[in-house]
Amino acid sequence: MPSERDSVLHSWCVPADWNAPTVVGGRGAKLSLEDGRELLDMSSLVECSNLGHQHPRLVAAIQKQAGELSFVTAAWGAAPRKALAERLLELSGFEGGLVFFTLGGADANENAVRIARQASGKGHGLVITRDRSYHGASYMDMALSGDSRTAHQVDANAWGVRHVPPPYSYRCPFGSQSPHDCGLKGAAAVADCIEMEGAGRVAAVLMEPNAGSNGIVAPDSFWPALRDATQERDVLLIADEVMSAFGRCGEWFAWQRHGEQGRPDIMTLAKGLTGAAVPLGAVVMSAAIARRIEHEMFYSGLTYCGHPLSCAAGLAALDAYRDEKLIERSRTLGARLFGELQELHSRHPVIGEVRGGHGLFAVLELVADPVTRAPLSPWPQQSEPQRAMLRAALDAGVSFGSRGNLLIVAPPLVIEESDLATAISLLDRLLGRFFPAPGMEKKP
């Protein structure tokens, strides 16, 4: 039988090497495969299926909306769009603000930058982002991202983007010995960059508040200090919450862990907004920004922005998070998961660091030597033993997320506790098999 590889160019893969599972259905944290097997999804696919697969409420809401009104142009009104915007503004405390709907995370970030440039009155003002960040795969987002995999494809300077070092406390680029200090220095680096460029030329800073999609988790000190640094210099702060929102980091929106002190001017959403059942992104902006742009033409939007089917799914998703208490569940299970992963860390020298702890999101950085912290493979490559371990996990029915020398553990927030336990004990066994501690290697 011909493979899907023969007809589809899949994203983020080498076409000739494509060999991924084919999924035919799902329930909760489990996916059903074409070959009849079940796969426990420990990464919410790409950290997006926060509500699990085929959540009945989402399916019903999409079906109902399809029966009433499938599509209306983004420039006209639609009841589910209005209702979803109002709910997002209320949930985030951005009352009086506005929501611009997009198709996903990349165009949410692009539009957030456009809105910030327009609202700040700084024309083509610069945007500051972090090295080793990911904000999407359009050309502008590749410029915004500090991503060595795609940096050569785009001239970030030409897009008015400046990158600063990240608060990566395990390998702190500022030489700090503590995560707290590394976070403060990360924020200070942004302040320095604004000063160097001139605050009048910088329209916005765009960063993730906590969980980093490229595996860096910002220390708690980072975001409030960044907020102060931007506010003091009259530079808008955009929180990329595409991955970190909707319970992933234990809050509706990750910045909320810092209370009002963490409030950005704009935040971008996607992924968990509909539990990934249908594509949708959003730019949520403060009342102050809304007032600055409300009498000017906003030259942006794609045909399917704010699609009624997606907005109906978004409303059902918000209801499910609330009624099933999934934000609280993520916080509780996330704390337990973090403890269990730290216990693995104490026994498996290949784990250099476990990051996370706020919600069901954790990163394990794998190292060749825990003393020197030499990475198991140079970023963003992946070593053969790590690939073999991930394949063995798949064969055992569990799919873990992975980028470079990182393992990402980010299951749907609805995962059964027994499934979480099964996945962690499998990981324990596989780490022991593929990366035995010195003295524990199998004799030939």
Ligand X SMILES: Cc1ncc(COP(=O)(O)O)c(C=O)c1O
Provide Rg for the chain, Cα atoms.
22
What phi and psi, each to the nearest 5 degrees, are found at residue 126?
-70, 155
Is 58 or 108 the residue whose CB approaches ligand X more closely?
Answer: 108
Closest CB 46 distance from ligand X, rounded Å? 6
253 secondary structure, DSSP code:
S
Closest CB 305 distance from ligand X, rounded Å? 13
Is 184 or 270 the residue whose CB approaches ligand X more closely?
Answer: 270
> Both tokens of residue 321?
């998070």
Catalytic residue among 134, 299, 304, 321: 134
Closest CA to 144 of 232, 242, 288: 242
Closest CB 220 distance from ligand X, rounded Å? 19
User: Known catalytic residue: 299?
Assistant: no
Closest CB 107 distance from ligand X, rounded Å? 7
CA–CA separation, 206 vs 130, rounded Å?
Answer: 8
Q: What number of other Cβ atoms are within 10 A of residue 301's Cβ? A: 16
Alpha helix segments (H runs only) across 234-304: 287-293
CA–CA separation, 70 vs 311, rounded Å?
Answer: 11
- CB-nearest residue to ligand X: 105
| Residues engaged in binding ligand X (CB under 6 A) | 46, 104-106, 109, 134-136, 208, 213, 240, 242-243, 270
Q: What number of other Cβ atoms are within 10 A of residue 64's Cβ? A: 13
Is 209 or 349 the residue whose CB approaches ligand X more closely?
Answer: 209
Q: How many helices (H) and strands (E) does the chain have?
A: 12, 16
Is 142 or 367 the residue whose CB approaches ligand X more closely?
Answer: 142
Closest CA to 303 of 113, 83, 103: 103
> Both tokens of residue 316?
């059902």
Is 106 or 161 the residue whose CB approaches ligand X more closely?
Answer: 106
Catalogue the E-assigned strands of 58-125: 98-102
Amino acid at 167: P
Closest CB 164 distance from ligand X, rounded Å? 17
Residues catalogued as catalytic: 134
